[in-house]
């Protein structure tokens, strides 16, 4: 039963961690701003919320996620 409490607290923490910063993004509507914040965590999260790949200046683009600095973040790489 304690694991359910930890899971619930973690879920609330993640939700608050995405919503509060999103309120500071007046550029995007709230739903898109939350998805933009989640996309900043890592590329798997960006794919999960449907914002990958993302282009410079658009929602979901974070410079830290643009590995080759071409203006496309979280782009798919060909398998080798």
Q: What is the mean pLDDT, run by run of 10 residues, along the chain of 80 residues?
A: 64 62 68 87 91 92 90 81
**In sequence order, what DSSP letters do the residues of 36-67 get, joined into one string?**
HHHHTT-HHHHHHTT--SEETTSTT--GGG-T
Q: Where do the structural domains in the chain lie, given as residue ranges? A: 2-73
CB-based contact 59:69 (threshold 8 Å): no
Q: Given this model, what pLDDT does residue 4 score?
A: 67
pTM for the full model? 0.64
| Tally of helices (H runs) and strands (E runs) in the chain | 3, 2
Tell me which DSSP letter residue 72 carries.
Answer: E
Q: Given this model, what pLDDT does residue 5 score?
A: 61
Q: Given this model, what pLDDT does residue 51 score?
A: 92
- Tell me which residue of 43, 18, 42 sits closest to 32, measured CA to CA: 18
Q: Given this model, what pLDDT does residue 29 score?
A: 81
């Amino acid at each position: 039963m304690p694991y359910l409490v930890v899971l619930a607290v973690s879920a609330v923490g993640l939700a608050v961690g995405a919503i509060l910063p999103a309120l500071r993004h007046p550029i995007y509507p709230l739903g898109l701003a939350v998805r933009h914040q989640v996309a900043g965590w890592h590329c798997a999260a960006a794919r999960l919320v449907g914002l990958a790949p993302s282009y410079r200046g658009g929602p979901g683009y974070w410079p830290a996620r643009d590995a080759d600095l071409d203006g496309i973040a979280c782009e798919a790489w060909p398998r080798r």
